[in-house]
Amino acid sequence: MIDRFRMKWLETQEEIKRLGRYQRPFDGDLPHRLLILGVDHRIPQSQVYPFHYYRRALKQAGVEVREANVARYGETGESAPKGASAVAIQSTMDLTEAQFDRLLDRVRRANPKARITYMDWFAPTDLRFAEMMAERVDLYLSKHLLRDRAAYGHPTLGDTTLMDFYGRHFGLDQEAQCFAVPDGFWEKLRLGPSFVTAPFMLPVFDRGAFPEGARPIDLHARIAVAGTPWYQKMRQGCADAVDALGGVNKLVGTGIRHDRFLEELRRSKICFSPFGYGEVCWRDFEAVMCGAVLLKQDMGHVETDPDLFVPGETYVPLRWDLSDFDEVVRGLLADPARRERIARAAFQKMQDYARSSRFVEQMTPLWQVTA
């Protein structure tokens, strides 16, 4: 395990590069020049970081990478390299068509032959920008998708799968929403990695080892509850399930520093990582990185790559109403061999991804038309 001081140093060095090396003009000696217009926040940056982490492998594949802040670029179009052959764009969730058209105009004037990708880093599994992007970009990259593509393009109560289920479950009054998916969009859709590529995780999976040591904490379950009505009710139900679990050494509450949070996970047998505003959460991957068994509502409806959510193999699923919570937790605590097998298999799967060429293979359509 890379310690937090080493990780902080690595993150600082990466930030220096983002503000310097990655914004200089393209050298122009490689066939592909990729410009990333990213959102400067830790969640979307987890989608951008691997382009820099794997820069040597990308260079071997003929790709030169640069990055600029999308907000500043949209204001002036300056401080970004020109002449890219591919441009990948992130945005905030309140993006309008007019804003995106203005941004695209700047992009195309500076990079007239560029292949354009929209990078969806949002927590929910919906495709809310599919209609906006269908005729404007060459590719649409998402961190996670519904396995059943036919589930898209239909009305939901609220704007996400989770809002729909928990709104109905708790009898909430929510406005119906439908995000249209135009013809031809599916050919542009691509699935990329989720939080495994975050700056504080990817190097650990790549260079580290499965964390050994004592695990005196039975259940790690720090659950924030405050939020929108459906989220609050869903998360309160999770907190109540944990509170009702007697005779178990558990950690609850919120407000702990991140490095201490991770240290707790390294001393925990099981980590309960409930849904957030989307199904896939930071904590899913943090638990695996720290060697705790991931316990979560059933993720069978979600597709990720690498796939962290193989039931009974890399995580342990729960019913969405948590009616089996007590039984599942106690069963895991009574079976250390099973816990060890699942925790190690999950870590190994993420490590295999980090140490492979899979990321470059996934991203190749961004700069190269593939069959």
Quick: pLDDT tens for 164-183.
Answer: 999 999 999 999 999 999 98
Q: What are phi and psi of 161, to 5 degrees?
A: -60, -40
Domain with CATH 3.40.50.2000 in the chain: 207-353
Query: H-type helices in the chain, by residue range?
Result: 4-19, 42-53, 55-60, 70-76, 97-110, 130-133, 161-169, 202-207, 229-243, 258-266, 282-289, 325-333, 336-354, 358-367
Place of tokens 């190269």: 368
Q: Could you say which residues of the chain have pLDDT below 50?
A: 1-2
Cα 201 to chain centroid distance, Å, stands at 12
pLDDT score, position 75:
76
Orientation angle between helical segments 325-333 and 229-243, nearest 10 degrees: 50
Distance between CA atoms of residues 170 and 161, nearest Å: 14
User: Do 48 and 69 touch, CB atoms closer than 8 A?
Assistant: no
Distance between CA atoms of residues 343 and 292, nearest Å: 6
pLDDT score, position 2:
46
Class in CATH terms, 4-121: alpha beta
Half-sphere exposure of 302 (CA within 13 A, CB side): 30
- Geometric angle at alpha carbon 92, from 87 and 95, rounded to 5°: 90
Distance between CA atoms of residues 304 and 350, nearest Å: 12
Name the residue among 95, 51, 40, 3 with its Cα closest to residue 362. Answer: 51
What's the Cα-to-Cα distance from 177 to each of 267, 288, 304, 312, rounded to whole Å? 43, 34, 24, 34
pLDDT score, position 78:
63
pLDDT score, position 19:
59
pLDDT digits (tens, 9 = 90+) for 88-113: 999 999 999 999 999 999 999 999 99
What's the Cα-to-Cα distance from 237 to each of 159, 170, 217, 280, rounded to whole Å? 21, 11, 22, 18
Q: What are phi and psi of 68, to 5 degrees?
A: -140, 160
- pTM of the predicted protein model: 0.93
Distance between CA atoms of residues 231 and 275, nearest Å: 9
User: What is the second-level CATH architecture of the domain 207-353?
Assistant: 3-Layer(aba) Sandwich (3.40)
Other beta carbons within 10 angstroms of residue 151's beta carbon come to 14
Residue 292 identity: A
Residue 139, helix vs strand vs coil? strand
